[in-house]
Amino acid sequence: MLAVYATPLGAADNAPNFPTRPIRLIVTNAPGSSVDILGRIVALRLGIVLGQQVVVDNRPGAGSALGMEIGKNAAPDGYTLVSAPTAALAIAPLIHQKRPYDIVNDYAFISLFAVTPNVLAVNPGLPVKTVPDLITYAKARQGQINMASAGPGSQSHLTGVLLTTLGKFPSLHVPYKGGGASVGAVIAGESQWTMTPAPAVWSLVKAGRLRAIGHSLPKRTPLLGDLSAVAESIAGYDYSGWNGLIAPRGTPKPILDKVRAALLKVMGQTDVREAMSEQATEITTNTPEEFRRLVQNELDKYGEVVKAVGLKVD
């Protein structure tokens, strides 16, 4: 049974004048994370288009559940938006089953705005330059190759498990406290490889501190040069991250439409495209209905991986 959400008195009537004060954009990840970087790129330009500052409010914690709960409980008046990534909308709900919100029914979906490939990165000292190389290397060293992740249930964990499952090679999962720590472990040689969002590692790859040997998009992209898709070696591998804009359920449609129109304008700007490209991220937008369907499909897809891993936090 769906809950009934009341629209704040006058919110719909004031839609033509919206916004008249700063807007809060909740980012469900910590400052400096790839999700945070993308959210700030959007926030700055969105504020310019809407004529009011869009202030980023980082609320990390509980696998993105903290920020999502704060967003759900905010007044549905357009002055609180949430920049929600794959982890918040399609992974955390599968792991934190006692969460106090419903992903599909407690939010108003506005639009997707970015798709970010995960990059398969290895320690540069490893004699591995391709995905088949990694598979062969791991099979020859049963149980001696570590896969670093940002923690149990993180995107890097699930995408890494999917890689070992479809690639049929062994690797010990070593969870770290966050993406920065897991990437640092690969650089230091504590772990041999990780599958992590491109913005978190691409500058390190360019600097030679990591070696990229594949990415998670279904085919090659100019954003990552000549880097091959993992799917070229492991058929069917297609698990990239994405970010979208949502609002509390009950936010008046005229306000949602105004925010969406501003977002589409922002994503079409040359400087935004360049900024996203620097983060190895593709700009992608869709309708609210398409966004909602994407989330449901991703819940089904990641649900299979979570079940296979036997992962459960609560």
| pTM exceeds cut of 0.85 | no
The answer to whether the beta carbons of residues 250 and 80 sit under 8 Å apart is no
Query: Given 203, 232, 261, which residue is the final one in a domain?
Result: 232
In a domain, 123, yes or no: yes
> Measured between alpha carbons, how far is 305 from 301 in angstroms, rounded to an integer?
7
The answer to whether the beta carbons of residues 55 and 23 sit under 8 Å apart is yes
> Measured between alpha carbons, how far is 23 from 98 in angstroms, rounded to an integer?
29
Give first-to-last CA distance, the chain, whole Å.
Answer: 23
Of 77, 98, 91, give the one whose Cα is nearest residue 35: 91
Q: What is the CATH number of the domain that holds 279?
A: 3.40.190.150
If asked whether residues 214 and 131 sit together in one domain, one would say yes
- The tally of domains found in the chain comes to 2
pLDDT at 46: 98
If asked whether residues 130 and 70 sit together in one domain, one would say no
> Measured between alpha carbons, how far is 49 from 262 in angstroms, rounded to an integer?
6
> CB atoms < 10 A from the CB of 166, how many?
16
> CB atoms < 10 A from the CB of 299, how many?
17
pLDDT by residue for the chain (314 residues), tens only, comes to: 344 444 555 556 667 899 999 999 999 988 888 889 999 999 999 999 999 999 999 998 777 888 999 999 999 999 999 999 988 898 888 877 777 788 888 999 999 999 999 999 999 999 999 999 999 999 999 879 999 998 887 888 889 998 999 999 999 999 998 888 999 999 999 999 999 989 888 889 999 999 999 999 999 999 899 999 999 999 989 888 899 999 999 999 999 999 999 999 999 999 999 999 988 899 999 999 999 999 999 888 888 777 777 776 55
pLDDT at 5: 45
Query: Given 232, 258, 289, which residue is the final one in a domain?
Result: 232
> Measured between alpha carbons, how far is 193 from 266 in angstroms, rounded to an integer?
36
In a domain, 223, yes or no: yes
> Measured between alpha carbons, how far is 110 from 290 in angstroms, rounded to an integer?
10
Helix (H, G, I), strand (E, B) or coil at 129: coil
Q: Which residues pair with 54 in a beta bridge?
A: 23
pLDDT at 13: 62
pLDDT at 179: 82
If asked whether residues 31 and 98 sit together in one domain, one would say yes
Alpha helical stretches, state H, the chain: 34-50, 65-73, 86, 92-95, 131-140, 155-167, 179-188, 198-206, 253-267, 270-278, 288-309
> Measured between alpha carbons, how far is 291 from 246 in angstroms, rounded to an integer?
10
Domain that includes residue 68, residue range: 19-116+240-309
pLDDT at 66: 87
In a domain, 13, yes or no: no
> Measured between alpha carbons, how far is 212 from 193 in angstroms, rounded to an integer?
10
pLDDT at 1: 35
If asked whether residues 141 and 196 sit together in one domain, one would say yes
Of 93, 25, 91, 89, give the one whose Cα is nearest residue 59: 25
